[in-house]
Amino acid sequence: MTEFSDLLALAVVNVLIWAGIFVYLWRLDAKVKRLESEKE
Amino acid sequence: MKILIFLWIIIICYLSFLFSPPAAGFIGESSRIVFFHVPIAWLTVLSFLVAMIQAIRFLKTRDPIYDLMSAVACRQGFLFAILATVTGSVFARVMWQSFWNWDPRETSITILLFIYAAYLVLRASIEDPQRRAILSSVYATFSFIPALFLIFIVPRVYYSLHPDTLINVQGKIQMYGRILFTFVFSLGGFTALYFWMYNLECRIEKLLYRKEGHYD
Amino acid sequence: MNMEIKKSPLHHEIYVVFIKDVKSELRTKVAANAILLFALTTLFLVSYVVGPYRIAPADQPYILSAWLWIIFFFSAMSGLSRVFVKEEETNTSIALQLAARPEAVFLGKFFFNLVLMLGIALVITPLYVILMEFPVQSWSHFIIVIFLGLTGMTTGVTIIGAIVAKASMKGTLFPILSFPIIIPLLLAVIEGTSMTARSASLAQTMQLTSVIIAFTGAMFVLSLLLFEKVWLE
């Protein structure tokens, strides 16, 4: 049976990976927004 | 809005690992992958649908922006298909001790992968933007029928002939309580993530298009 | 100046396109030879290397069916795009666009491809059954499945040929684009062919046949609708 701490570790790792993905996407989004307002 | 999506995904992580119990009938904790694998597979299908719709819009209006948006959906769908195949394969390894079984659903996702890849190869092989747009849109629309067959009909027809369907087993397992909640929650979260990703990449394409006149 | 072109009836245009392709094919026989040679080579290779005795009788229906359709599929890949590619290569494409309606062009070339494949089947199938000792139990089923399968294959693949003709890398692109499209059909058809070699229930056969017909029908209608976009500049 897997320990709770193992599952917790997995969850934390997941969250970290997702946080990384989201930071990338956020920055991309901000950049696109900036470029869009520039174009007007 | 984006914060909401992020929080949603985080909650998915919490729910799938800590909140919901492991499902009966699966080895150890491996059922948890369902919360990620099935939504990703769903995104592959959703992307295909979006790609087809945009392709049809292009063919009707001849506005190149629709073709670009169709291509975005195909690129993303390709990525999701790869992820779905990989996560499914990992699951198969744990459950059935082999990475690949040529089970109907597995075969379907592979063919879907090929359709996406073929689309991208087609796009890459045509120089003239106008022609590329027309031919890719036609291919995206045309391949929808085989895709439909693969996604819906093949697993149903072949379940009666090959009893060892993997993902259909999931469908048969009654999901209840926490597992069902986590699953639906995850499905919703990934869909929201998809719409944001798609919207983002489309905006990038639009910017590039406006900047360079016609760009791929 | 009022340029009113009197439209000839559709079936006439289809016939003309078809006959034109048949005539030009009979002159050089390029496509027919390519397909035939490919099919024969593969057939003899399979027969020589594996032969009918190396496969367990229980496995024979599936394996032999699969091989037969592999032969058909790749033969189709080596020859069926020619109807369109040669128009582009000889620069007659524009003339044809003006001379006939898109639907007529599609149907004419579709029938040409179909006749080609059926002709090949007439040669290859008996040879295959003999050389590989394919244990056909119901000949009528067998012939029907082969015919339906080839029709379905040609339906799916003709418009891809048209697409490929307008792209580059035509030779390699054709199988790449065709394979994913045709696979659902092939799966059903191979299964159907194997059913004729073992006793399969009527219900199963019916179900499979309806899948094949549904697929062919859907592809056919969609091809007709989309062909115009591909064909006209």
Q: Answer whether residue B73 is part of any domain.
A: yes
Tell me if C136 is assigned to some domain. yes
pLDDT at C94: 84
Using the beta-carbon criterion (under 8 Å), do B59 and C229 form an inter-chain contact?
Answer: yes
What average pLDDT does the structure give for chain B?
Answer: 80
Give residue B155's pLDDT.
63
- Residue C106: give the domain boundaries: 10-231
Chain B CB within 8 Å of residue C211 CB: yes
pLDDT value for C85: 87
The predicted pLDDT at position B159 comes to: 54
Would you state the pLDDT for residue B148?
A: 87
The token duo for C3 is 């340029």
Give residue B157's pLDDT: 61
For residue B26, being part of any structural domain is answered with: no
- Predicted confidence at residue B213, as pLDDT, reads 62
Verify C-B touch: 3 or more CB pairs within 8 A.
Answer: yes
Q: What is the pLDDT of residues B13-41, one digit of tens each?
A: 777 766 666 665 566 666 777 788 888 98
CA dist list (Å): C194 to B149, C42, C60, C150: 21, 20, 8, 15
Distance between CA atoms of B123 and B70, rounded to whole angstroms?
11
pLDDT of B167 above 70:
no
Residue B23 resides in a domain: no
- Report how far Cα C133 is from the mean position of its chain's Cα atoms: 24
Q: Residues B137-160: what's their mean pLDDT?
A: 80
The total number of structural domains in chain C stands at: 1
CB-closest option in C163, C207, C208 to B139: C163
**Interchain contact, C163 vs B111, CB within 8 Å:** no
Range of the domain at B198: 2-16+32-212
- Amino acid letter, B81: A
Q: What is the reported pTM?
A: 0.86
pLDDT of residue C137: 83
CB contact under 8 A, A25 and B196: yes
B99 pLDDT higher than 80: no
Q: How many CA atoms lie within 13 A of C41 on its CB side?
A: 9
Question: What does pLDDT average to in each consecutive run of 10 residues of chain C (233 residues)?
Answer: 65 87 86 88 87 79 90 91 85 84 90 93 92 85 92 94 86 91 90 83 81 92 92 80
pLDDT at B161: 44
What is the CB neighbour count within 10 angstroms for residue A33?
12
Q: Give yes or no for residue B110 having a pLDDT over 80.
A: yes
The answer as to whether B198 is a domain residue is yes
- Among the ranges given (B80-89, B149-158, B166-175), the one the predictor scored with the smallest mean pLDDT: B166-175
Domain count of the fold of chain B: 1
- What local confidence, expressed as pLDDT, does residue B163 receive? 42
Suggest the residue from B135, B144, B161 to mutate for an interface test with chain C (most C CBs closer than 10 A).
B135
Dihedral angle at the C-alpha atoms of B48, B49, B54, B57, nearest 10 degrees? 140
Residue type, B163: P
Q: Which two tokens stand for residue C44?
A: 């003899």
Tens of pLDDT, residues A1-40: 556 777 777 777 777 888 888 888 888 888 888 888 876 6
Degrees, nearest 5: CA angle B103-B104-B106: 65
Which of the four pLDDT bands, split at 50, 70 and 90, describes residue B164? very low
Residue C194 in domain: yes
pLDDT at B27: 64
Residue C23 in any domain: the answer is yes
Contact C47, C131 (CB under 8 A): yes
* Among the ranges given (B81-90, B154-163, C197-206), the one the predictor scored with the smallest mean pLDDT: B154-163
**Residue B21 forms part of a structural domain:** no
Q: Which amino acid is at C9?
A: P
* Confidence check on the interface: ipTM exceeds 0.90, yes or no: no
Which range (A3-7, B54-58, B181-185) has the least confidence?
A: A3-7
Digit-coded pLDDT (tens) for B122-148? 999 888 888 999 999 999 999 998 998
CB C227 within 8 A of CB C102: yes
- How far is it between the farthest Cα atoms of chain C? 75
